[in-house]
Structure 1
């Protein structure tokens, strides 16, 4: 996929994620990570296509790994900003304004990595956006689920 398509797909996915974050939803323990798996597969495909035409030098790989570590870090922090509450015996969750702000900052930092990369790997940020989203969303989900599991026991 070219860079414009990557950006468009990334924007659509980000808008969908942000919308879903603000919705009141029940916490379900039997939930399968279907969306995460789709994002992960598409993200790996995007990166594979990108690296067919770009350098995969040590610094580029280090920036990619660093970005994914930041994705996980933002996911952990966001996981603690999600509001959890019990209503009529059911546990619910909903992202807050801080959750959304952290999503936007995290994505900005990820895309900002492109500015640090030399011309041989320009576009790595957009080529890896779906993988970044999968890692970040997955980490946030683990934290929220852990908090929910603790809330159920208490």
Structure 2
């Protein structure tokens, strides 16, 4: 991952963590915009990463398995983090949510695990292009799963 991508990734993760520690409505539209942005950037970056690697050699089974594992891990962290988010109904009737310190800790562990998977993916391809290209999709998957589960849990709050 080049320096610009690293800085952008750190800024996005910091903003996401900061946002999740604030009390906000469950059904806000800001999450949809962020997920759309991350998804679009993720598809472009991943397509570029795959194209760059296959110029030199075919993707092996280990690489494909590690990329799939990367996204399964993202979903898993989304499930676990969703359970740490407090959901309640305000006296005015609005559904609210707020992450707790455990939510932040899980974000940091999730990012560390992703970095490790990135390095492992790149080791299997012998290039430094594919692993780093998964970061935006990783964030999109983990946020989408977390958001879906928090919204589903909020629907049951009476």
Q: Quick one: structure 1 residues 51 and 105, their matched pair in 2 at CA, closer, same or farther if it must change by over 3 Å?
A: same
Residue 132 in structure 1 maps to residue 135 in structure 2: no
Which of 77, 82, 90 in structure 2 is aligned with 1:87?
A: 90
For residue 147 of structure 2, what is the aligned residue in structure 1? Answer: 141
TM-score, normalised by the number of residues in structure 2: 0.87
The count of aligned residue pairs is 151
Q: SS at 2:22's partner residue? A: coil
Q: After the TM superposition, which of the residue ranges 77-86 and 122-131 deviates more from structure 2?
A: 122-131
Kept in 2: contact 1:114–1:123 (CA 8 A): no
How big is each residue's C-alpha offset from its partner over 1:50-79, in whole Å with a ceiling of 9 and x where there is no partner?
Answer: 122225322112111101001001001111
* Unaligned runs of at least 5 residues, structure 2: none
Instruction: State the alpha-carbon separation in 2 of the partners of residues 136 and 149 from structure 1.
Output: 20
Q: Report the Cα offset of residue 47 of structure 1.
A: 1.1
* Unaligned runs of at least 5 residues, structure 1: none
Instruction: State the alpha-carbon separation in 1 of the partners of residues 2 and 28 from structure 2.
Output: 37
Residue 103 in structure 1 maps to residue 103 in structure 2: no
Name segments (4+ residues, structure 1) moved above 4 Å.
Answer: 29-32
Q: SS at 1:8's partner residue? A: helix
Instruction: State the alpha-carbon separation in 2 of the partners of residues 30 and 137 from structure 1.
Output: 14
TM-score, normalised by the number of residues in structure 1: 0.89
Aligned-pair Cα RMSD in Å: 1.9
Instruction: State the alpha-carbon separation in 2 of the partners of residues 114 and 30 from structure 1.
Output: 31
Kept in 1: contact 2:41–2:136 (CA 8 A): yes
For residue 72 of structure 1, what is the aligned residue in structure 2? Answer: 75
